[in-house]
Structure 1
Amino acid sequence: MASDRRTLLADAALDVLADEGVRGLTHRAVDRRAALPAGTTSAYFRTRAALLTGLVTRLVQRDQAELQSLAEQFGPPQSAADLVDGLLLLTRHRLAGEGRRRSLARYACAVESARDPELREILVPRENAGRAAVRHFLAAHGTADPESRTHTLLTCVDGLVFDRLVSGGDVPREAIEGLVTAALRPGDGPAPGARG
């Protein structure tokens, strides 16, 4: 029962953070959002740091579940076009509905983690089915250092999501295609035709 209550409160905290930002994230605001008596949140998360840690831990759990579900739904990419389609699906999930709310909370937590090593450790990209599928695809296509290329590709996609979260609109397919093309480029040197 206690773990269920902690999960409920962490989810409510995510909602408060998405709607009101870091300044609005208080124990009282979480109590109200969860429709629980005043003082409930502080009984489970004594300090603001504990509340943020619980929130970030829950955020990572929900993100990992989403990535697992998308990987199962979409399957492993067989072509560059498949990989682009999968990454576009991810960006759409991260920019609409519940995914948008989690994205807002995630970026607020990322800024907080710059000053909090414990939060930063929780937010470190984790192994998941989606990441593994991208890395396997890049390795199968002979890219140099598929682990590093996977990290760079997914970080760039994340940056596009952040940009669209702030400026509005969807991530254009052409942007994802360009990132996938760059990730598949052989070797570590400059792109063909680039001038130094």
Structure 2
Amino acid sequence: MASDRRTLLADAALDVLADEGIRGLTHRAVDRKAALPPGTTSAYFRTRAALLTGLVTRLVQLDQEELQTMAEHLRPIRTAEELVDGMVLLTRQRLTGEGRRRSLARYACAVESVRDPELREILVPRENAGREAVRVFLAGQGVPDVENRTHTLLTCMDGLVFDRLVSGGEVPVEPLEGIVAAALR
């Protein structure tokens, strides 16, 4: 039961962060969003740091589940075009609906992690099915320094998502094609 309640509160905290930003993230706001009595969030996450840690841990879990599900539904990447198609799909997921809300929360937490090593450690890019698919594709193409190229490609894609989250619209295909072409050089 406690684990379910912590998950419910972390999900509510994600919603508060997406709706109100980092300054709006309070224990009381999470209680209201979760429709729970005042003080409930404080009972499970005593401090703001504990609340942020719970929120970020849940965010990473949801991101990992999303990437695993995508990988299970996509075939192994064989061409640059298939890689671009997968990147288009992921950027669209990150910019619409629930994915957009998680992206807003993710970037707010990333800024907070600059001053908080514990948050930064949780947010560090993890091994996941998406990263592995890119790594395997690049290695199969004979690309030197696969680890750095994978990291750079995914970081560039993340930057494009951030740009569109702030300025609006979808990530155009052309920049994605460009970063894939650069990774293959």
Q: Do both share a fold (TM > 0.5)?
A: yes
Deviation, structure 1 residue 94: 0.1
Give the whole-Å Cα distance in 2 for the aligned partners of 1:73 and 1:89.
Answer: 12
Unaligned regions of 5+ residues in structure 2, if any?
Answer: none
Tell me which residue corresponds to 2:166: 166
Deviation, structure 1 residue 75: 2.2
Give the whole-Å Cα distance in 2 for the aligned partners of 1:178 and 1:106.
Answer: 25
Deviations 1:124-174, CA, capped at 9 Å, x for gaps: 000001100000000000001111100000000000000000000100001
Give the whole-Å Cα distance in 2 for the aligned partners of 1:80 and 1:116.
Answer: 37
Tell me which residue corresponds to 1:193: none
Give the whole-Å Cα distance in 1 for the aligned partners of 2:46 and 2:96.
Answer: 33
Deviation, structure 1 residue 15: 0.2
Tell me which residue corresponds to 1:42: 42
Q: Does 1:181 align with 2:181?
A: yes
Deviations 1:92-147, CA, capped at 9 Å, x for gaps: 00000000000000000000000000000000000001100000000000001111
Give the whole-Å Cα distance in 2 for the aligned partners of 1:76 and 1:101.
Answer: 28
Larger Rg: 1
Residue type matched to 2:7 in 1? Answer: T
Tell me which residue corresponds to 1:29: 29
Unaligned regions of 5+ residues in structure 1, if any?
Answer: 186-196
SS in structure 2 of the partner of residue 11 of structure 1: helix
Percent sequence identity over aligned pairs: 81
Residue type matched to 1:24 in 2? Answer: G
Structure 1 moving runs of 4+ over 2 Å: none
Tell me which residue corresponds to 1:63: 63
Normalised by the length of structure 2, the TM-score is 0.99
Tell me which residue corresponds to 2:133: 133
Give the superposed CA RMSD.
0.4
Deviation, structure 1 residue 74: 1.6
Tell me which residue corresponds to 2:107: 107
Residue type matched to 1:19 in 2? Answer: D
Tell me which residue corresponds to 2:145: 145
Counterpart mapping for 1:82-121 below 5 A: 82-121=82-121
Residue type matched to 1:116 in 2? Answer: D
SS in structure 1 of the partner of residue 127 of structure 2: coil
Give the whole-Å Cα distance in 2 for the aligned partners of 1:116 and 1:76.
Answer: 37
Residue type matched to 2:43 in 1? Answer: A
Normalised by the length of structure 1, the TM-score is 0.94
